[in-house]
Amino acid sequence: MRFDVISIFPDYLAPLELSLIGKAHQEGLLELAVHDLRDFTTDRHRTVDDTPYGGGAGMVMKPEPWAQALETVLNLPARTPGIAEAGNAAEPPVLIVPSPAGEVFHQSIAQELSQEPSLVFACGRYEGIDERVLDWASERFRVRPLSLGDYVLNGGEVAVLAMVEAIARLIPGVVGNPASLVEESHQDGLLEYPVYTKPAVWRGREIPETLLSGHHTRIARFRRDEQLRRTAERRPELLAVMDQEALDRADLEALREAGYEQ
């Protein structure tokens, strides 16, 4: 899978060379290139912004450097062969535009995007990119404006770090133990259960005794109850949208005990 990121702050994306994602890049499990938008300007000052038509505060990103950058990325050599390559070969690549005005990014979107052979990220700064770029790009890419949530960042770079990490870790081989992907928050619509390690008593605090029982069925039930309790307490809206078929009698009992009324 290939990732291309276009930004006026390419150094902002340096953390992608660290940890599991960096290792996956080194090992060739994914291709990653960061492009400086200013390399696609033609004036002496490498200008990427200008004042907004209609007036108002702030600056807007000029369209032409974006078109030059996006055309260049479209013509880059083929990505690393990936699992989804054959199935998606005919489709235009996905262009992700991080924006607080986008659709909210979610584990299911990460899952979907991890199946793509190629993802391009266009990091806007200032008040945003001239809207005509998105219109022009929609004839060459499948454009996805995506937001991290309902708060405002100064630009798309931090959002791209989060999205690339969420997507890349779903690529087979990037995370060492694939089982650890299955038992995580949001994978089954519930928050994760709490975890403990040695010592069994730490500063006077014990671990839940079920975890010492060696009784796998009871441990699984304990963890499931903790997931339900936490989700009811912290994110009740997740339970409200959950497929009710996914809850058995023991689950409903745990929710009642947690004081969750549906």
Nearer to ligand 6GU by C-beta: 83 or 104?
Answer: 104
Residue 152 binds ligand 6GU (CB under 6 A) = yes
CB of 96 to ligand 6GU, least distance (A): 9
CB of 134 to ligand 6GU, least distance (A): 14
Task: Work out whether strand 201-202 and strand 205-206 pair parallel, antiparallel, or are unpaired.
Answer: antiparallel
Residue 159 binds ligand 6GU (CB under 6 A) = yes
- Stretch in the footprint of ligand 6GU (CB under 6 A) among 10-18, 24-32, 68-76, 143-151: 143-151
Nearer to ligand 6GU by C-beta: 104 or 246?
Answer: 104
For residues 211 and 176, give the distance between their C-alpha atoms in angstroms, rounded to a whole number: 25
Residue 74 binds ligand 6GU (CB under 6 A) = no
For ligand 6GU, the binding residue among 56, 58, 87, 149 (CB under 6 A) is 149
> Cβ(49)–Cβ(126) under 8 Å?
yes
Residue 59 binds ligand 6GU (CB under 6 A) = no
Residue 110 binds ligand 6GU (CB under 6 A) = no
CB of 152 to ligand 6GU, least distance (A): 5
Residue 10 binds ligand 6GU (CB under 6 A) = no
For ligand 6GU, the binding residue among 10, 93, 117, 156 (CB under 6 A) is 156
CB of 122 to ligand 6GU, least distance (A): 11
For residues 177 and 40, give the distance between their C-alpha atoms in angstroms, rounded to a whole number: 41
Nearer to ligand 6GU by C-beta: 50 or 103?
Answer: 103
Residue 82 binds ligand 6GU (CB under 6 A) = no
Residue 101 binds ligand 6GU (CB under 6 A) = no
CB of 163 to ligand 6GU, least distance (A): 8
Q: In the numeric block, which tokens belong to residue 116?
A: 């793509």
For residues 152 and 5, give the distance between their C-alpha atoms in angstroms, rounded to a whole number: 20
Binding pattern for the stretch 185-224 against ligand 6GU, x by CB under 6 A and - elsewhere: ----------------------------------------
Residue 27, sorted as left (phi over 0), alpha (psi -120 to 50) or beta, turns out to be: alpha
Residue 100 binds ligand 6GU (CB under 6 A) = yes
Q: In the numeric block, which tokens belong to residue 254?
A: 């745990």
Footprint on this chain of ligand 6GU (rule: CB under 6 A): 98-100, 146-149, 151-153, 155-156, 159
